[in-house]
A and B are shown apart, each in its own frame.
Chain A
Amino acid sequence: MRGIVRVFGLPVLLVLAWWAYSAVADNFYVPDPLRVAQAFADTWFGQRLLDDALPSVGRLAAGYVVATVIGVGLGVPIGLSTRLRATAEPVLEFFRAIPPPVLVPLIMLLVGIDDTMKVLVIVSGCVWPILLNTVEGVRALDEVLADTCRMYGISRWHLILRGASPQIMAGLRQSLSVGIILMVISEMFASSSGLGFTIVLFQRGFQIAEMWSGILLLGLLGFALSTAFRWLERRILFWHWSNRA
């Protein structure tokens, strides 16, 4: 009982406060929660889920997977070679420092405004945190451990990927939030479908409750993805000290 109050107490209070505010203030931009919940059900349970939400998530997944493959694939050789690392580091630091959303207009120039553009935007933003963290993780591999593995004939790739995996996961976590941002922005820029596009459409049409329902959906998506990621991280890094405590 106490646990339930602890988890749901504050959220319920906040929703009640929202309700009270919307009833008292009669603010055009703040509809009451019931109206938003109604709009949420009407808007998203149906064709929109298939036409807008799923393609968005699909593009995010595609971009994220490609970025992971490129990031880890390039990060391992760069991390293993001191020279390569010294050569590549300033370039990588520069690319990482570019705010990913400015790549949207650039990639639009290069490939147009189709699905490829959106996936490429997500790849181009997600790849840097993964790449840099992989480099860092591979570089910090324990030398004694490397020698031990060689002695016992354990495959080098196994050692590298396992040893660097806590860092790689840290990079993947950073990339996930970058990826969601880019998914939304690339659709706001130039698109005829997708979550970002639909929400902006509602906003331009002053469909306030529908717009809020879209914000809510994006929030739920962000929450769901980060929860799924944490679950996956615990599975993959179950052996790591950070999960042993």
Chain B
Amino acid sequence: MSRTISGAAYGAAGLAALLAVLEAVPRLGLVDARFLPPASEILAELGGLLATPELWIALAETLRGWALGLGVAFVAAVAVGVVIDLIPGLRAASNSTIEFLRPIPSVALIPLATLLFGASLGSTLLLVVYAAFWQVLIQVLYGVADVDTVARDTARSYGLGRWSVIRHLVWPTALPYIMTGLRLAAAVAFILAITAELVIGSPGLGLEIQTAQSGGAVPTVYALVVLTGLIGIAVNAGVRMLERRVLAWHPSVRGATR
């Protein structure tokens, strides 16, 4: 217990040191304060922004694009993964296609999204879904392949139907993999949501950053960047919590909490 407390103290010291450096560098004139405002100014700006309704609207837009895109990608990837597993031969046949499509950077789709949807939620969704889909699909495919052959044979000899096998055997086996996929996809989806707003101009925090930057509101840019970092941390922590909850029965989680 005291270990974790001293760990937290060191961590707090680290954060304090970062803030001190960010405060000192512009104040001492090492970097022009017009381009790097002191930390106190950035945090004050962030506090001011948090009091405006516009910021919360932008935040809601970003989170909506993130959640919708992640949800669509997750459901689609799980469905496709299960279908690939169910139909014999499809796995081998789809392998080359998946291995080719997966590494395509989803930012390559930015021009297409701009043409099809313009600066709207649709653009965000196209990028988010494409990026998140592969993260989940790959894990689903690993997961369904990991089903114990003895367990599968046992299920067959006990006469379990196809759906019972999926429900009681494939799903629990694949679930830890799927949750890993969800965790990776959640982080990627957030990055792509912000990217779409920043580059295409769909409404959200990314657009606010772009507007602030082109308007020369430097402290606002920094404050918003800090905010996206905080949201990123919250997204990671939230998904990890969900993972622990969903997999509470799994040895990897049970062992860790003991």
Q: How far is the CB of B6 from chain A (nearest CB, A)?
A: 7
The list of the 10 closest CB pairs from A to B, nearest first, reads A97-B232, A203-B111, A86-B10, A218-B108, A87-B14, A219-B104, A98-B229, A226-B103, A105-B213, A222-B103
Q: Given the complex of chains A and B, what is the CA–CA distance between A110 and B95 in angstroms?
A: 44
* A18 contact set on B, CB distance < 8 A: none
Chain A hits for B206, CB < 8 A? 101-102
Flag if B233 contacts A93 (CB, 8 Å): yes
Which of B136-144, B220-228, B248-256 forms contacts with chain A?
A: B220-228
Contact in complex: B105, A218 (CB < 8 Å): yes
Question: What chain B residues lie within 8 Å of A177 (beta carbons)?
Answer: 103, 105
Contact assessment for B229 and A10 in the assembled complex, using a CB-CB cutoff below 8 Å? no
A181 contacts chain B at the CB level, 8 A cutoff: yes
Residue of B nearest to A89 (CB): B11
A132 to chain B, nearest CB (A): 12
Q: What is the size category of the interface that chain A forms with chain B?
A: 35 or more
Task: Determine the chain B residues whose CB is within 8 A of the CB of A105 once the complex forms.
Answer: 198, 209-210, 213, 221
**A97 contacts B111, C-beta separation under 8 Å:** no
Query: Contact string, B14-34, partner A, CB cutoff 8 A, digits 1/0?
Result: 110110000000000001000
Known contacts A86-B10, A97-B233, A105-B213: does B199 contact A188 (CB below 8 Å)?
yes
Assembled-state Cα–Cα distance A144/B104 (Å)? 42
Beyond contacts A203-B112, A219-B101: 4 other A-B pairs, Cβ-Cβ < 8 A, are: A101-B191, A105-B221, A109-B35, A211-B111
CA distance A219 to B15 in the complex (A): 39
Determine the chain B residues whose CB is within 8 A of the CB of A70 once the complex forms: none
CB within 8 Å of A: which B211-247 residues: 213, 218, 221-222, 224-225, 228-233, 235-236
Q: How far is the CB of A161 from chain B (nearest CB, A)?
A: 25
User: Which positions in A face B, CB cutoff 8 Å?
Assistant: 5-11, 14, 29, 83, 86-91, 93-106, 108-110, 177, 180-181, 184-185, 188-189, 196, 199-200, 202-203, 206, 208, 211-212, 214-215, 218-219, 222-223, 225-226
Chain B residues near A94 (CB-CB < 8 A): 15, 229-230, 233
Contact across chains for A14 and B103 when beta carbons are under 8 A apart = no
Q: Is B36 an interface residue (CB 8 A)?
A: yes
Closest residue of chain A to B102, judged by CB? A226
Chain A-chain B contacts (Cβ-Cβ < 8 Å), number:
163
Q: Does B114 sit at the interface, judged by CB under 8 A?
A: yes
Q: A-side binding surface: helix, strand, loop or mixed?
A: helix
| B172 CB, nearest partner CB in chain A, Å | 24
**B95 neighbours in A (Cβ, 8 Å):** 6-7
Q: A83-B10, A97-B233, A100-B191 are in contact. Are A185 and B107 (CB under 8 A)?
A: yes
Interfacial chain B residues near A109, Cβ < 8 Å: 35, 213, 218, 221
Bound-state Cα–Cα, A212 to B229, Å: 33
Judge whether B14 and A95 touch: CB under 8 Å: no
- Closest CB in chain B relative to A119 CB, distance in Å: 18
Residues of B within 8 A of A101 (CB): 191, 194-195, 198-199, 206
> Would you list 5 pairs from A and B whose C-beta atoms are within 8 A, ordered by A residue?
A86-B7, A90-B11, A90-B12, A106-B221, A200-B111
A65 to chain B, nearest CB (A): 19
Provide the residues of chain A in CB contact with B103, threshold 8 Å.
177, 219, 222-223, 225-226
Residue of B with least CB distance to A108: B213
B209 touches A102 (CB 8 A): yes
CA distance A57 to B131 in the complex (A): 21
Q: Is B52's beta carbon under 8 Å from chain A?
A: no
In the complex, the chain B residue whose C-beta lies closest to that of A83 is B10
A99 to chain B, nearest CB (A): 4
B92 lies within 8 A of chain A by Cβ: yes
Is A91 a contact of B14 with CB atoms below 8 Å? yes
Q: B94 at the A/B interface (Cβ < 8 Å)?
A: yes
Nearest CB on A from B146, distance (A): 14
Closest to A201 in B: B111
B233, A86: Cβ atoms under 8 Å? no
Q: Is the CB of A6 within 8 A of B191?
A: no
With CB as the reference atom, state the residue of chain A lying closest to B109.
Answer: A215
Cα separation A225 to B108 with both chains bound (whole Å): 15
For the complex, give the distance between the alpha carbons of A102 and B224 in Å: 9
